Amino acid sequence: SHLKLATLSSSSSTSATKQQMQVLEEAQLSATRLARYTGDKLHFLWAANSALLHRQACQSLLHFDNTNTVLNQKLTMLPRLAESLCSKVLHTTSGAASKHPPSAEDWTVYLNALSIQEKYKDALSSLQNIQVVHHSSSSSSSSADTPEQQTLRQINDEIDIQQHNGSLIQLSHRDKLERISNLHLHLQSYKEAADTYQQLLHMFPDQWNYWLGYLFVTISPSLLILMEKQDYKELQGYKDCMDFVHTVLDQQSNNSRHPLRGPHLIKVELVALFLRRTFLPPSSSFSTQTNVPFSFPSKSTSQDLLSVILEYVSLFSPLASCCFADVRPYLSLLLTHTTFSTTKNDDDNCILSLLQHAKTTLHEITSTNSKEQDDKMARKQLRSYICSIQIIYQVIHHISTTVSAADAHNLLEEYAPSIPQLIHKWHSTLSINNDITSTTTTSNNNDDDNNAQQKEVLPGDEIILLAIQRLHYDYNYHHSFSSQKDTTYLLLYAASLLEGAIHHSPYNPQLKIAAIQTYATLHAPSRSLELYDDLGIKHIQLDSCAYLILPTLLHGGLYAEAVQLCASIINLHSTTSKDVGNYAAKSYENGLFTKTKEMMEFQCCNMNCSLTLLQAKGVIMDCAALIYSGDDSTHKKKGASSLSPFSSSVLPLGAKHGICGGDYDLERATKMIHDSYNFFSAPSIMTIASSSSTTTSTTKDDYSDNRDSTIYDFEILHHSTSPRNQDKEQQPNYYITTKEEIIQDSLLRGHAHNLLVRATLILSVAKPPKKGKVTKPDSILLSRCESLLQSVQNANLFASASCDGSNEDNNESNQGKKKEKKEEQMIQLNMWNSMIGLCRIIAVLTIGEEDVKNNGDSNSNNATDAKTATVSFNTLADRETKAASLLSIITEEINDAQKTFSHFSSSPSIVGEESDTVEVVCKLLSDRLVSLYLLLEIVGKLFVLYGWGKRKRMTREGAGKLADMALTLKSLIVDMRAALSNYPSLLHANQIDVNEGGGGGKGEDDDVDKQTMALLNEIYSNNDTTSSPSSGYSIHDIISSTDYAQSKEGKVMIENAIRNVLLSQRETKERVYPFLNQMVDILELYNVTD
């Protein structure tokens, strides 16, 4: 029970860590009392392991209070206690305990207790005396097994398991050697560690972390006598390592049909070490601190690294499709330490040597007669073909940061195959292994047999991914000197190629991921969502892969789908929290202490502190009022044409959930307050935000970024997106959402809803004036207003800290996006300031107080100072005057936002830009506009309560200022609606006609058909409108020179891609328009002229 409670720690704050330490201390004391009472071996081990877990919690708490003497005493005492308890169990040789020898888990607890105390020699001595289970390998004969194998107690039957408490799995020979090598590393016994690693490598010659460990213990002693400018090949450690590599290779050449990658790749790592000057850690439990003290001649070392890389590529590119993934980090290292030169007669130019080697390989493959090859040989050549292109792409991507875009593009055209050549090669690979193609086609056509069929990917799928990257690269390149939208056809063609590839290989997730991003760039969120659903992402993948689609849904106005996805994420975390606690307790009961620790760390450090969970809560709160998307009885999952128009009797804003200025606001706000104390509910973001007034580094460390960046590892030349900050070579070419930005946006959402909820509660208890005088507020109204003012202060502190702590991006390729992002942030800031001003008006009207701390008192830093700095407005006239003054300021803020938006929307829009006007409209609607509109509605109702309604616009100063502010906001919303009507489309503006008001009749389907055919005819026609005058580039050149594009299937795929984009664009308008229309209609009511 205590272990279950320990898994519920939801943050790494002081209070949460202290609570976890207390729970684990109770667990330790309970286990100790139980062990004394029963004398059972398992219960002693419970007490020992609980003591170690207790110590770990004390160590975490010590980071917050490093002067606590009690904690320091526990750090010393608890490992000793664990060692003593384990000794009573492991050294017992009589009685019932001798029926089974100690298990691997038993020894693990004991060895961990010794290692924590740095008693490495004692641990090593105990470990060497342990009898273990030997596992024979292909490199060792059965005669090598020792008699220990027969003396150890075996697990006989189910009775053994039922009658024995704890684990019965004994320590294996491999585990023992791994632990011995790790202890030798800590003791710096490098010779003994090298001998141990040799034993492991003879057993498992392809285990990469063993090779890294052997490299470290072999080279490190040689570095102590290293002389500056000495050739690294003269080092004894280098010679010993190479000799052992050759020994393993000779041994494996007689016992293996295929060469092993590990021994060959370690030769690359051995050279890269002296260029990188740091060791890679041999294991997660041991961090290497040794660096190479001297830098060797970079030019000669680079040449050596190039040689071993090309040797590895020549050997394994025909055999393993992961060859490029193996050498990719070494290519990046080589390119980083190499200066690019266009001098082609320079023999020492590593970059040109790489390009030339890849080009030569491609020429040899393409000149071979493929008709005379069998499938096996064709697959080998296909792997080499793909690897060569990947190397070229990696080189071009690197040098594009150091040379002009034109030079990089020219090199790409010179060395890499053209897009038509890539498509022709892919189409020819469809004939390789027809049995796979027929299997996938059959299973795709017969849903009943899907589970019975083998889900394979086609060998040529990687070529399509390379072609897609080339199309994206060309699209960005041509936009660098041309703002014409015609190059969008490149993205459209990329989408059609992916549709065709998915048709032939429906089980390849990388094709669908690439298609999701391509359609997102084309503003087709509905099709992106369909592809995401086809991926079958569920369970823990929701936490790591939801970022694939969530921004696209928000930028495309699919708010209901975004809420549904985020609800699934929260449900995952709620369920996992219960399951992990039960499983951790069950593992403890069975003596599997390692699994218990892993599950506790997983739940406490990854799940409870998940960045995706935090983001999901904020998105649900923002989009709750926007999830109504028409009549549910006629709404289908796929296709915009299935959406029926909104009923005129139903107001879409807040139709189902969220605060919307309607009759259910008080009930919904009260429920939000109650749910805010449930960690696994969306309103808990308000509680989290209340405790976060700044975005300090501690706050950032409180959250675990579980997003899986490896799903984009197939991207080389063009990086469509990335969830983490990468090295310079890995940076995508547009602005990235970082961990800090997600935290900032999510907590800002929490602060905004704190304001909304409190304003709604104030409205329900506000008192009208009596006989022209203000009414004295009761205790409930007073406390709610003080709570609102405190929330205003916290929100402003957080927003100010967020703006001051924003990171500058010096990457030139990102500056354009940063400028557009800054304009969007300016609009958001204007709306945020307007929300803060409206909240102050609510406080002024109801209790006559305003928190003026942010208006000049910069020295007050807490709630008490804020209260003392509050100015009181005790008369009705004073309150009206102050409200009018604040409304004037708010009107100026909204005017500034409108000017910024008009400038932003009037700029030429390029399809695919992240901050495109339509995406900004959709994002502003959910992030700020709805909240600002609802606060305005609350202020308007308070004005009516005070007798300053809309009809008093000409006679009351406050009513007039409120009407001016409302009409200014209406003008901004009208501009946003106009921008949405000018949605970027695939056809020219005078050729496309997407209805503005929603709907879904047959006539609109006919329009989409006509638009699709018009665009299809334009793409296949040979005219000058699709060429760029700066480069002579034409999509027709690709279409006309590609057999697949001219085939019936190719035309169908292009037609499908066009239709998907047009339908998605129409659905976005159908989703967003009703909300804008409702706000415009209601705000127009303030336009009272009589």
Q: How far apart are CA 489 and CA 1019, in angstroms?
A: 8
Backbone angles phi, psi at 704, to 5 degrees: -105, 125
Taking 50 as the pLDDT cut, the residues of the chain under it are: 93-97, 138-151, 435-445, 447-453, 483, 631-648, 697, 722-735, 807-816, 852-869, 908-915, 987-1001, 1024-1032
What is the CB neighbour count within 10 angstroms for residue 782?
Answer: 15
Handedness of CA 227, 230, 231, 236 (dihedral sign): negative
Q: How far apart are CA 732 and CA 728, in angstroms?
A: 9
Say if residues 457 and 430 touch (Cβ distance below 8 Å).
no
At 646, list the tokens.
């909104």
Say if residues 304 and 275 touch (Cβ distance below 8 Å).
no
Amino acid at the residue 851: D
Q: How far apart are CA 1086 and CA 104, in angstroms?
A: 76
- Tell me, what DSSP letter sits at residue 925? I
- Tell me, what DSSP letter sits at residue 956? -
At 807, list the tokens.
């990171």
How do residues 331-346 score in pLDDT, each as one tens digit? 999 998 888 776 655 5
At 143 the pLDDT is 39
CA-nearest of 710, 709, 732 to 721 is 732
At 96 the pLDDT is 44
At 1029 the pLDDT is 39
Cα radius of gyration rounded to whole Å, the chain: 34
At 129 the pLDDT is 87
Say if residues 869 and 851 touch (Cβ distance below 8 Å).
yes
At 80 the pLDDT is 95
| Residue 552 CA, distance from chain mean position | 14
Residue 1050 CB partners (closer than 8 Å, separation 6+):
496, 500, 1042, 1044
Q: How far apart are CA 88 and CA 788, in angstroms?
A: 61
Residue 733 CB partners (closer than 8 Å, separation 6+):
476, 718, 719, 813, 814
Say if residues 968 and 891 touch (Cβ distance below 8 Å).
yes
Residue 171 CB partners (closer than 8 Å, separation 6+):
103, 104, 107, 130, 132, 133
At 1024, list the tokens.
């000058």
At 903, list the tokens.
């400038």
At 265 the pLDDT is 95
What is the CB neighbour count within 10 angstroms for residue 67?
Answer: 7
At 945, list the tokens.
């309560």
How do residues 244-286 score in pLDDT, each as one tens digit? 999 999 888 777 678 899 999 999 999 998 888 788 777 655 5
What is the CB neighbour count within 10 angstroms for residue 821?
Answer: 18
Q: How far apart are CA 631 and CA 62, in angstroms?
A: 57
CA count, 13 A, side-chain hemisphere, 780: 7
Strand pairing partners for 374?
none
Q: How far apart are CA 912 and CA 733, in angstroms?
A: 12
CA-nearest of 930, 1014, 223 to 557 is 930
Report pTM: 0.88
- Tell me, what DSSP letter sits at residue 864? H
Backbone angles phi, psi at 610, to 5 degrees: -65, 130
DSSP 1045-1086: HHSHHHHHHHHHHHHHHHHHHHHHHHHHHHHHHHHHHHHHTT
Report angle CA 699, 704, 707 to the nearest 5 degrees: 135
Q: How far apart are CA 674 and CA 687, in angstroms?
A: 11
At 820 the pLDDT is 61
How do residues 461-491 score in pLDDT, each as one tens digit? 999 999 999 999 988 887 655 545 567 888 8
Handedness of CA 773, 779, 785, 790 (dihedral sign): positive
